[in-house]
Amino acid sequence: MSGYPDGSFRPDMPLTRMQFAIMLARSLKLDAALTDLPFADGADVPTWAAGELGAALQAGILQGYHDGTLQPNRAINRAEMVAMLLRAYPLEDDGTAPRSFADRADIPDWASEAVSLASAAGIIEGRKPDHFMPGGTATRAEAVTVLLRMLELWELNQS
């Protein structure tokens, strides 16, 4: 992940869906897939990002919404971040009990398994000791943290 032109990293800044998808595509070293983005808001994707977003779409990491949009510039929430992370780096259920979050009922069904697997593996933590906060906006620091933890775990499992 690169910083800003002034040399700052801004760890508490929100991360967009496009930024996280690009982080994952780069971490996997996916070849840019120049493709027309089949979304109503495809024009919202800058030219420099289209190839990596196309690669993330083809790999199944990034998905659009039911209304036909991609919403690439929308801030990514914590549930989306974890779901995308586990689409990029699938985890097997090793029988380790997932962390019990008090707000578990707030985790969307489509993200529930990813959150369970990531919490059992120690990839994610709550913002509060017992709250995952699935709808909370993911920060740049959180995204880097979960990706680094996943890469460490992935390397251990590959060796």
**36-60 pLDDT, tens per residue?**
788 999 999 999 999 999 999 999 9
- pLDDT for residue 11 is more than 90: no
Q: So what's the pLDDT on residue 22?
A: 94
pTM attached to this predicted model: 0.92
Q: So what's the pLDDT on residue 1?
A: 63
Q: So what's the pLDDT on residue 57?
A: 93
**Tally of structural domains, the chain:** 2
Query: Which tens digit of pLDDT belongs to each residue from 123-150?
Result: 999 888 789 999 999 999 999 999 999 9
Q: So what's the pLDDT on residue 156?
A: 84
DSSP per residue over 18-77, as a string? Answer: HHHHHHHHHHTTPPP------STTGGGS-HHHHHHHHHHHHTTSS---TTS---TTSBPB
Is 2 among the domain residues? no
* Residue 159 and residue 81 in one domain: yes
Query: Which tens digit of pLDDT belongs to each residue from 55-105?
Result: 999 999 999 999 999 999 999 999 999 999 999 999 989 898 888 899 999
* Residue 38 and residue 113 in one domain: no
What is the end-to-end Cα distance of the chain in Å, rounded?
25
Where do we find the tokens 């017992």? 130
Q: So what's the pLDDT on residue 155?
A: 87
Q: So what's the pLDDT on residue 102?
A: 95
For the beta carbon of residue 60, count every other beta carbon within 10 angstroms. 10
- Residue where a domain stops, chosen among 74, 91, 124: 74
* Residue 70 and residue 81 in one domain: no
Closest CA to 54 of 25, 85, 74, 83: 25
* Residue 106 and residue 140 in one domain: yes
Is 1 among the domain residues? no
Residue 156 or 28, more confident: 28
- Residue where a domain stops, chosen among 74, 95, 116: 74
* Residue 105 and residue 59 in one domain: no
- pLDDT for residue 25 is more than 90: yes
* Residue 81 and residue 158 in one domain: yes
Q: So what's the pLDDT on residue 101?
A: 94
Q: Which two tokens stand for residue 129?
A: 């000791």
Determine the structural domain holding residue 27 and report its residue range.
12-74
Q: Indicate the burial class of 116 (C-beta count within 10 angstroms; 0-12, 13-18, 19 or more).
A: buried
* Residue 43 and residue 22 in one domain: yes
* Residue 96 and residue 63 in one domain: no
Q: So what's the pLDDT on residue 157?
A: 80
